[in-house]
Amino acid sequence: MKRLIVIRGGGEIATGIAIYLYRAGFRIMVLEQEAPTSIRREMSFADAVYDGEKTVERVNCRRVESVKEAKECLKRNEVVIYVDPAASCVRELEPEILVDAILAEENLGTERSMAGHTIGLGPGFCAGRDVDAVIETMRGYNLGRIVYEGFTRKNPDAPSHVGNSNTLEHIVHAPAGGSVELLRQISFAVKEGEVFAKIHQEDGNVVDVASPINGILRGSIRNDSAVEKGQKIADINPNLSHSQCFRLSDKVRCIAGSVLETVMIWRSAEKKRFFR
């Protein structure tokens, strides 16, 4: 299918990429796992796996149940999401471009042969070997840099600075395994020490999850989700407003713009080669 781009992963960054590419005129198919664990759910097409559809910044994505249904929707220029974590449908679809936006910090099976041009996000990919290009995802001077040879920087596992302030955004990890009960919704304000979630363990114990800072609950895992100890379950940001929880971030826009640039560079080169 002409102008088809397959994106592995349906989280916040993958969703931003899908939106940018869709608005540029490409057909978009997102591949996800059966039970996505994205915490920035208001900005993630991954939630369509649960709810059937998800709209982010006026772009709607709907879940499809088969490759046949996906093809029909793509012909109508709809953005679709399909449960296929192994990307086994790629061989049949033969997309022009494949973007691995899983952000697992390792390559989960993406190969250069899967599409005419392949792009990986962040550490775990070697440009020129695993994929054709890699996009830098770490905040800083090189955010969004396109790498055509070698690797991007590895994640130092440190919280990232928000804006120009000295405060940090905080990812909250599950203090125990069990089922999550959320007491606050995304975009609600929370205070330092306030219990905003509880984890119900199999033995009947209940573990409180308190906010480490004053801020806005930017993202959280779905209510009643089963989690393991140490798993990411929420994101609290001290500087955001309510409305910013429902808009793409500066980081997402930068990375999405770089992916679009990479795609257009490749397509321009292919067109010149065709007419040579």
The answer on pLDDT for 273 being more than 90 is no
CATH number of the 170-238 domain: 2.40.50.100
Give me the pLDDT at residue 1, please. Answer: 81
Share of the chain above pLDDT 90, in %: 86
> Is the Cα dihedral 244, 5, 266, 153 positive or negative?
positive
pLDDT digits (tens, 9 = 90+) for 197-225: 999 999 999 999 999 999 999 999 999 99
| Confidence (pLDDT) at 143 | 95
Q: What is the mean pLDDT of the chain?
A: 92
As its CATH architecture, domain 4-155+249-274 has 3-Layer(aba) Sandwich (3.40)
Per-residue pLDDT at 166 exceeds 50: no
Instruction: Identify which has the larger pLDDT, 161 or 260.
Output: 260
The pLDDT tens digits of the residues spanning 125-157 come to 999 999 999 999 998 999 999 999 988 877 655
Intrachain domains 4-155+249-274 and 170-238 with the same fold = no
Query: Using 50, 70 and 90 to split pLDDT, how confident is the model at 240?
Result: confident
Does the pLDDT of residue 14 top 80, yes or no?
yes
Q: What is the reported pLDDT for 155?
A: 61
pLDDT band at 247 (very low <50, low <70, confident <90, very high): very high
Alpha-carbon distance of 155 to 137, in angstroms, equals 9
Q: Minimum mean pLDDT among 59-73, 78-92, 228-242: which range?
A: 228-242
CB of 195 closer than 8 Å to CB of 209: yes
Question: Please, which pLDDT band fits residue 161 given cuts at 50, 70 and 90?
Answer: very low
Q: Are 177 and 230 in contact (CB under 8 A)?
A: no
Q: Which residues contact 228 (CB under 8 A, 6 or more apart)?
A: 174, 177
Residue 210 structure tokens:
């308190």
- For the chain, which residues make up each domain, given as ranges? 4-155+249-274, 170-238
**Amino acid at position 186, single letter:** I
Average pLDDT over residues 261-272: 89
Mean pLDDT of 49-65: 97
pLDDT score of 73 more than 50: yes
Q: What integer pLDDT is reported at residue 258 of this predicted model?
A: 98
pLDDT band at 97 (very low <50, low <70, confident <90, very high): very high
Amino acid 153: pLDDT:
73
